[in-house]
Amino acid sequence: MSLKVGQKAPDFKVNDQDGNPISLSQFKGKKVVLYFYPKDQTPGCTVEACNLRDNYKVLQKKGYEILGVSTDNEKSHQKFIAKQQLPFSLLADTEKKLHEKYGTWVEKSMYGRKYMGTARVTFVIDEKGVIEEIIEKVDTKNHTNQILGDAKPAKNTAPKKAAKAKKTPAKKAKKPASKSSRKK
């Protein structure tokens, strides 16, 4: 990452899901959570977005505005917002200009194949437009906790695994002691 905590966050102008131009400067006086994610409708990105959705009121009470950023287009963002009922804007950085400013368009590797993609990174920006925190190891299920720095969990919206039925082993019949182990 080329950006560091304490630096002024780069301003930008990118369209949201409805084609409205959004800039960081229009949020002056508010804290901004600018989270970069790889792709709409994918499992990890959906869990992360839903965690932020379910804790949106808590984040707003603490003065945060949420902006999600991916390289998906406006139409894709509209579908994602509708399907997951997201209350915040998603920015369509199809030309990757915002990604480049924030250093989130990076070389990745999967199964030995190298390709360019979005690094899952969140920038917490204060009311003056200064980077307060950079979260590089995002926990998608508990992202709100990471942002707020809370030890206690906010709403965890991760799908719950079905409880495994405990199998109690059948009671084994006691074997009579062998002749050699009996006392004489």
Q: Which residues are annotated as catalytic? A: 45
Contact 52, 34 (CB under 8 A): no
3-state SS string for 110-141:
ECCEEEEEECCEEEEECCCCEEEEEECCCCHH
Q: What is the CA radius of gyration of the chain?
A: 24
Dihedral over Cα of 66, 72, 75, 76: its sign: negative
**Rounded Cα gap, residues 127 and 18, in angstroms:** 25
Single-letter code of the amino acid located at 184: K
Run of H or E including 65 = strand 64-70
Contact 145, 133 (CB under 8 A): no
Tokens 């792709």 correspond to what residue? Answer: 39
